[in-house]
Amino acid sequence: MSTNSECPLCHTLNLVEETAFGNHVKCTACGRRFYVVAPQLVPLSGGEQATPMPVRWNAEHGNTAKRDPLSIVFGLRRVVYVIVTLQLVTLALLAALVWHSFR
């Protein structure tokens, strides 16, 4: 069973599978990853089967557009690359200063 879930950034309705409930999915329009909230069931009178409502982004869901762990890891990797690059540049400058001081 699939349902529609709205992207909190661009408000595009994305068709998501039942297995995506409680996970992060990528928006088909803007590419942002957002958390998919399980749809609420609409109660019906009589013995009819309840059907899921499409989940719309609103304030009652809170901030569910959290970053997924994979994007956090890639963000940290980028920070480590910058730090290592700065250390290598600093080491090269120190080596140049030492080289010129002994000439």
Q: What is the pLDDT of residues 31-65, one digit of tens each?
A: 888 888 776 665 656 655 655 555 555 444 454 44
Pull the structure tokens for residue 25.
Answer: 């999915």
- The enclosing H or E element of 51 equals strand 51-52
Q: pTM here?
A: 0.40
Separation between Cα atoms, residue 13 and residue 30, nearest integer Å? 11
CA dihedral 14, 18, 21, 24 (to 10 degrees): -50
